[in-house]
Structure 1
Amino acid sequence: MPERWLILADDLTGAADTAIAFARAGWAASVAWGAAAPEDAVLSFDADSRRLTGAEAAARHAALLRAHGGGRSALFKKIDSTLRGHPAAELAGVLHALRGQGHRALAVVAAAFPALGRTTVAGCIHLNGQPLEVSPLWAREHSYPTADLCAVLAGEGLRTRHAPLGLVRDGAGALARLLHDALADGTDAVVCDAVLEEDLARIVRAGRPLARALLWVGSAGLARALAGAVSDGAMAPSRAAGGILTVVGSLAEASRAGVALLADDPGLLTLTIAPATLRGGPRGPDWRAQAAAAVAALAAGRDVLVAIQADPGTTPAAGALLADRLGLLLAPASSLAGALVVTGGETARAVCDAFGIAGIRMLAEIEPGVPLGLAHATRALPIITKAGGFGDAGTLSRCLAHLRRLPISESPA
């Protein structure tokens, strides 16, 4: 496969869980945002576009491709495995930009992430064996009236073909011929069914002869198949002195269950921040008290859990504002935390911005879709990021336990 990759994602946790698929297979991989971009073989860029309109998200992705695509021969458009955000508009924007540069381009769309129960059957996304549309994730937030990928892409004006599961499993030749024909007749995208990780591997093998003309579209499941074999030699960083800060901004059920379990840890200070406190801003007494409590605990070496109080009435747009405010509240703790665990893409980006983190070098995967990296800041800082809906009730506890086992550096990292 090509040796230099550009990954475009709509949020930070998505950029990270895709990049780690390459890092765990031995590739040098970093997550970046802003103007600076590392020269690693795999650059995963956070477009921070989920909160934008579809047109704005498409334009931002096209601009990032023009800015960072030079010299990178392989392109991966990371989409949310439950179709949040604007994946169809973003894909259309990237395809238009590629063709504007004179490239032939066919999107191979394989959204499945079998390790986390996300599959694609008859072109439709399923979660744990059930249609995505009947899940709590879909009820809380969705961008389209259906989880039928062919219909979603067609709604954006994209000419789409479907590769059913039987064809995917009928040897690489059948799917390879479909991809070849689709590229020849100007089809924009081929939606591929996948239920098992081996199905994703079959899709990758079928696409190899056309690799230079393909735009890969999917989640971390497809990234794993593209990256290749898993490396045994993951780096183990040290952490700085100071408590470990865990920040949860996501309202997803897995994250909320994780908060409830983690709050029972006797070595942890738990701070639950009311949305009203964040909306009120830094002048409010509750804001100052919560920020001071976090700073004091971390400075004393105590681990801290900070979670936004669940509010079922919070809209995605309001959630983005709360994430930004939470980052601002925690900014005084930026020099005191010895390591970070952050859940929720917008929360992760807000905390990183508040802490002066300009990028993350991917190191290891704690569990599927939950990467550990080393943040690029004034000091090296271990950071675990997790999409809100990934994992189970014990994932946050396992993340904290992993960081607690890291050796503490005697000097700044």
Structure 2
Amino acid sequence: MRQEPPADPVTSIAVLADDLTSAGDGAAPFRGAGHRAQVLLQRDGVLGAAREGVVAVDLGSRPLDEATAAALTWRAAAAFAGADLLIKTVDSTLRGHLAAETRAAHSGSGRQALVVAPAFPAEGRTTVRGIQHVQGVPVHETAFAHDPTHPVRTSDLARLLPEAELLEPEQFGKLPELIDTGGVFVCSAATDADLDLLVSSVPRPHDVLWAGSPGLAAALAAHHSRVPAASAVELPGSRRPLVVVGSAHPASRRQLERLRTRRDVAAADAGDDPAAAVEALRRSAAPVLAVHTPDTRRAASDVLTGRLAGVVGASVAERLVDGLVLTGGETAATVLEALGAAGIDLVDEPEPGVARGVLLGRPRIPVLIKAGGFGNDGTLDRLRRLLVEGGQLS
């Protein structure tokens, strides 16, 4: 392998995501590596540009049709093409418009190569010979095949991106030469060490559009840490948190059920009568509140999410609560929009796939954001405790 000159320090990082949890997941490892980071909602067609620190943009493209999502992604990649490090997040379970959006981002970025690595080993999502697995099972054979908006039909990345060259970890050493000629490369990874090897095999990050999940973001952040670290964002405490569950994924529903067994938690269903849900929360003396969509879907997903966001907005406006745990990307984005927030100032990543920060807006309350399919049965309970107690999870 030829010797490469030392790369210039990475100071500007742009993360382009199709939903809010992906934006938070993509940015959080860099916050832990010392970079300032913000997660921003983008809904009016106006995009910023690369700047020092991390800008993670939720394009809100997952629920859009494929052509619209691709066009929006192309514009975003072109707008942030000047970033030292440019990342297009992809869902580790292959939901969303993965092929169309990554191709559009590659084209808009003007970069020589597209490196796709969706593995997230910390959450049991691995890529083996180009096949995506969840806990060892091909993803199209898991609960993600029944996602209400983006059911996963294939686990084979070669089918999604037939133009790509598939690379196993033992082949990553060829990447400098391959990148010089351009192209698309799907990289298998079963461990964090595989992802670390992938990132270390690419000497000039500006040549590459990276496409991956939080596993890849963590590997990139470890290789591009900032010293000295950015100043900390002040994190206010929460005396009465509200846990918000809009995800229909079975993992989130098990987490919600576990939370509802606690005596100090009062939960309300926002699905049929949002005003009644607000009244129930208003009358409760419980130190922890929860609001959720119905366990059985009785209306369209966007209708239920809108009702849920309305309950959260009223609860925050009346100061019934002073901290939020948000589960599900669409839910989190809709809630932030209802609150009039531009996004969040990131503080850290207390668990894999969980972003913690402070609302960019008023009131500046603490927020934890988690993707619907992440975590075990006790995750919401732990996050509820973290919001109250502060600090890191034990």
Name the TM-score, length of structure 2 as normaliser: 0.88
* Post-superposition offset of 1:288: 1.7
| Structure 2 residue 369 is matched with structure 1 residue 385 | yes
**Which residue, 130, 135, 146 being the options, matches 1:128?**
135
Match of 2:6 in 1: none
* Post-superposition offset of 1:37: 5.5
Q: How does 1:9-28 map to 2 (within 5 A)?
A: 9-28=17-36
- The answer to whether the 8 Å contact 1:144/1:152 transfers is no
The 1:240/1:391 distance shift into structure 2, 3 A limit, reads: closer
Structure 1: any 5+ residue segments left out of the alignment? 169-173, 278-285, 408-413
What code does the residue aligned with 1:160 have?
Answer: A
**Structure-2 separation of matches of 1:59 and 1:329:** 33
Q: How does 1:357-368 map to 2 (within 5 A)?
A: 357-368=341-352
**Structure-2 separation of matches of 1:247 and 1:363:** 20
- The answer to whether the 8 Å contact 1:77/1:218 transfers is yes
Match of 2:312 in 1: 330
Match of 2:167 in 1: 163
| Structure 2 residue 355 is matched with structure 1 residue 371 | yes
Match of 2:242 in 1: 245
| Structure 2 residue 298 is matched with structure 1 residue 291 | no
* Post-superposition offset of 1:240: 5.3
* Post-superposition offset of 1:24: 1.1
Match of 1:305 in 2: 290
What code does the residue aligned with 2:220 have?
Answer: L
What code does the residue aligned with 2:212 have?
Answer: G
**Which residue, 138, 145, 151 being the options, matches 1:138?**
145
% identity of equivalent residues: 34
Q: Which moved more, 1:331-340 or 1:388-397?
A: 331-340
Match of 1:47 in 2: 59
**Structure-2 separation of matches of 1:264 and 1:211:** 48
Q: How does 1:215-364 map to 2 (within 5 A)?
A: 215-228=209-222, 237-239=235-237, 243-274=240-271, 277=272, 286-297=273-284, 302-311=287-296, 318-335=300-317, 336=319, 337-364=321-348
* Post-superposition offset of 1:235: 6.0
Match of 2:174 in 1: 175
Question: Could you list the per-position Cα deviations for residues 311-350 of structure 1 after superposition, in whole angstroms to 9, with x for gaps in the alignment?
Answer: 2687xxx323321231123321223121000000000011
**Structure-1 separation of matches of 2:334 and 2:218:** 27
The 1:303/1:313 distance shift into structure 2, 3 A limit, reads: closer
What code does the residue aligned with 1:61 have?
Answer: T
The 1:144/1:175 distance shift into structure 2, 3 A limit, reads: farther
Question: Could you list the per-position Cα deviations for residues 16-66 of structure 1 after superposition, in whole angstroms to 9, with x for gaps in the alignment?
Answer: 011111111111111002358695511000011110011111111122233
Match of 1:397 in 2: 381
Measured on the aligned residues, the alpha-carbon RMSD in Å equals: 2.4
* Post-superposition offset of 1:253: 1.6
**Structure-1 separation of matches of 2:47 and 2:343:** 9
Match of 1:410 in 2: none
Q: Which moved more, 1:140-149 or 1:121-130?
A: 140-149
Name the TM-score, length of structure 1 as normaliser: 0.84
The 1:378/1:401 distance shift into structure 2, 3 A limit, reads: same
Question: Could you list the per-position Cα deviations for residues 285-309 of structure 1 after superposition, in whole angstroms to 9, with x for gaps in the alignment?
Answer: x332212222444xx6832111111
- Higher fraction of helix: 1
- The answer to whether the 8 Å contact 1:163/1:175 transfers is no
The 1:206/1:324 distance shift into structure 2, 3 A limit, reads: same
* Post-superposition offset of 1:237: 1.6
- The answer to whether the 8 Å contact 1:51/1:320 transfers is no
State the SS of the aligned residue for 2:381.
Answer: helix
State the SS of the aligned residue for 1:82.
Answer: coil
| Structure 2 residue 202 is matched with structure 1 residue 202 | no
State the SS of the aligned residue for 2:10.
Answer: coil
| Structure 2 residue 54 is matched with structure 1 residue 58 | no
**Structure-2 separation of matches of 1:390 and 1:109:** 21
